Structure 1
Amino acid sequence: MPDPRLSRLALGVTLFRPDPDQVARVRAQAGSGFAAVIAFDNGGLAAEAAERLARAGVTLLSAGTNLGIAEALNRIAGAARDAGADTLLLLDQDSEPPADLAVTLLAALDRLRGAGCPVAVVGPAPAPAAGHKPPAYPPRPGAPARDGLAPVQFLATSGSLIDLAAFAQVGPFRADFFIDGVELEWCFRAWSRGHGCYLARDAAIPHRVGGGVIRACGVTMPRQPLFRMATYLRNAVYAWRLPHVPRRWKLAQLAYLPLQAGLYWADAGFRPAVVLRLLAAARDGALGRLGPPHDLPQDAPQDPPQDPPQDPPQDPPQDPPKDPP
């Protein structure tokens, strides 16, 4: 019998050209006792697959075009509220969560609420996936652990449980970021508005980003398509303008982004077109030119932005920032 707490939880899944096994995993969730199972099609879902999802009871959203991961998540959150849910568990089409993930995260959220801790999101620890770099979530300076739950700067969206009341106060994901850095900006904004982001170490989920890894100079980063690396770089540069992004994070990124870009260029064979695209992306970020990348491929699937394409830099030794913990 499904846990009664699941009746107030919606499950949201983002889709982009899913294969039959991925569609089947979404269909299988429809009978799990959730308030709603909501899928957003960002393109490429076959009509027959859409019909099978609808017959299974999945709420299928689509705009007929690729709106990016951030807008897809925002529309899923709106549909979850309309379904009467107060929490939202986010997954992507590649996710293979443990059967007890939702219950474990709900219990973690209850412990945080019981401790009087305002929380925006609680998520699982990253489990290793063969051939992929697992994300690392740096701790939030000045924020104490709560009942075994670790405060972190940010969490990947996939596998995370969002408190929808907090989501309404923090605001939606930035649609103009489109795909990369979406979760970083939102989590930093959540912390600045008094809502924490917490890691539940008693739950884990594999994360897969990119196609292989780049290893050099002691750095490991996913090997991404050029438009993904450029969009990440653009959004990271733009984030320097945002007051809620901690100063120490900006300083670390100031040193780290050129290293990442250089390693990516080297991995691409030092092709001039690659470095010119990355330089243009940095310029666009500095000038605030956001939105869908102009070289977004329309005929190939995109990995969701589960984590930034980098080893998150460690905070440099200096006084903690003055933004609210």
Structure 2
Amino acid sequence: MSNTIEVFAFLTEYFDQNAQLVKQFRINYFADGTVEILNPSRTKTIMKRIPYKELSLGMLYIGSAVTIFSRQYHVIDYADAGTRKRFEKLCGKAFGIVKNQSLPKTGEILAAVRGAGFVIGNLKTVVMDGETVLGVMASSEQASMEGAVSLFAETVLNLGHEMYVSATPEDVVKDCDDFFGNGSFKNSFKAGEESTLCLIKPHVIKDGNLGPIVSAIQESGFQFAAMQMFYLDRECAVEFFDVYRGVLPQFEEMTAHLIDGPVVALQIVGNNICEEFREMCGPVNVELAKTVRPKTFRAQFGHDFARSALHCTDLPEDGKLECKYFFEILSEI
């Protein structure tokens, strides 16, 4: 079989905007980057095979959520044994914990992981033994299960920062379940702190710039008390941005982008933090930011109004509320 027609098949579930399960689908991902969607029995084509550059094989691990033309699908299983065998041979997973003393180097670590060919699939800060640590799950697009474990360990440990890494593929499965699964550690959200929410948008992560933007935030002197990756559905995106409905003409585009991939939320803490962080983010009009505030985060990492790199809290009184929405409400769903 030619490599250009090799197919990987996955079973997915689709939920409507009210978070109700609609039905299951089969997604076929071809080696040339084309995608098709069928019903599970393959008797009906839902979407004909087309190129879809926003999706890569490494994003289709079990437990992930992917968005295809504004519809979010949750990957629940391999559709056949052949896909399981070939996918796990090509796309292994790895897990590591950034220890407390290394958290100031989080951006550097995430950039190195992405640079080694990994897709970062989950992140969460928790408190272990009285200290905040960051758990990272990454899926490789270049290495097998065992290869991913060794490549991840080599990549992060060579940086010289304090980290724990899973030693075997079996350890990865167990550690990920302990860290991210049902009944796992709660995130490190600090409800009483003066806070602002930083929400890193999907295009930044797809562009491979999660590490660089976190580094830029940290190097600017901002500290986060909590960090977590979320896969939002349309209902959550609309609810979060509801204050802009009827106010901003880009409302629909903004909400559509929030479900176009994972987002990373940070609770950033400090005195007068909302105003100071908003100032460093720059104008939401990216072209204006590039012209008058070229050193701001949006100028460096934004594309346009909807893909403006990140959302930050507008008003100081809303900082705690926005952080609570993500770190207390959505994290429990």
Question: TM-score, with normalisation over the residues of structure 2?
Answer: 0.25
Greater strand content = 2
> Relative contact order: is structure 1 or structure 2 higher (C-alpha 8 Å, sep ≥ 6)?
1
Structure 1 length-normalised TM: 0.26
